[in-house]
Structure 1
């Protein structure tokens, strides 16, 4: 199948704004990480946000646990498998690849960054950036990018960003409410997803584009060879 704008995960209109967004998000991850590198406690922002969230915990603890489960290995696997199955049913294999690789690489990025930054919480557990927040943000962003293709450029951009921010905020709240992360850890997780997913989508599109061109070139070569053979060996008449 030849690569077309309709098949691309990131059409030109999306790349125009997702590229700068990814760059800014990556810069934010590094800056926040540098600020809290080696820290073992909350900063001023963490303390202020944490105190506000603490008041909601008793009434909303079950909700926080439910959201937290979506970032656990079992919950995350169920989400991804269901979404991949939906993509395959809709004949969107490239989208299925992005769901797996986009979320997987996002979580992998958080695991690589945690020991490098070395921020800890509680008994020395590595905290920055939040893998749970990164996963759910990445998952929501991928789904939003797929849905945004049917909308206009501005509406699609707003939908994708809103979905990512909403998912990141929900998981961030759950992590802070359950004292699993500092608020800035969850912000780092959100930004990690915003940096990794667009980059992954671009790489998938580029790889598919090159593969399509190679297939088309081989087909053209075969057609040219057959035409040359017919010219060199015309069919005898009479």
Structure 2
């Protein structure tokens, strides 16, 4: 699920993304007000009118349970039709782990927006759509046999487009601070490559076990 050509590039990127998530979490832990950069970006997008607000609402729906489940179901079904069950597992696990991580971090960081009950950092919507785009791009890079440069460019471009689209929607709708969006984007960049690597490792072990048993049986059968 994680093409070998991309491991050397995506590993360091995932580590840097994780570090940025931690740094932003420490900076804004317990805050209930926008940072200076948040306020400036909010001022720039304030007053966005229809039809752009309708576009933002439609994009936001993709991160809601109904929209997210539909996207995952479609992508997973496509993988199964192509007889790629491990890819289907990644389609479910990648975004799932990203959202679960974002949810856990929200409680840990404790940053709020529009009241104490609205935990905001990092953005789960942004983490989900970015993670799904990353998964699809990883699978496409592997299937197309893209090299290190082209594959990395495809994966990062997909993550940037998806993260920017959902992040824009969250900021326009006032659902998240811009720095929350950045945290959600980095969360996906950090966890999806790790999840893909774990799925690869698990699959490799399952393949190796029957081979090991056959080898042991062959050694025992020798005179």
Partner of 2:122: 129
User: SS where residue 121 of structure 1 aligns?
Assistant: coil
1:200 to 195, 204, 207: 195
Match of residue 17 from structure 2: 25
What's the RMSD between the two structures over aligned residues? 1.3
Counterpart of 2:171 in structure 1 is 176
How far residue 223 of structure 1 moved from its aligned partner, in angstroms, is 4.8
Residues 3, 141 of structure 2: 8 Å contact kept = no
Give per-residue Cα distances to partners, 1:42-91, cap 9 Å, x unaligned: 11110111111224344401100100000000100000011000001111
Q: How does 1:38-57 map to 2 (within 5 A)?
A: 38-57=30-49
Q: Does the residue aligned with 1:104 lie in a helix, a strand or coil?
A: helix
Matches within 5 A, 1:109-120: 109-120=101-112
Matched residues in 2 for 1:78 and 1:169: separation? 21
1:88 counterpart residue number: 80
Task: Give matches, 1:1-238, under 5 Å.
Answer: 9-124=1-116, 125-149=118-142, 150=144, 151-223=146-218, 228=222
Structure 2 Cα separation of the partners of residues 28 and 170 of structure 1? 20
Structure showing greater radius of gyration is 1
Inter-partner Cα distance in structure 2 for 1:54 and 1:152: 42
Structure 1 unmatched runs, 5+: 1-8, 232-238
Runs of 4+ in structure 1 over 6 Å off: none
Q: TM-score, normalised by structure 1?
A: 0.89
TM-score by length of 2: 0.94
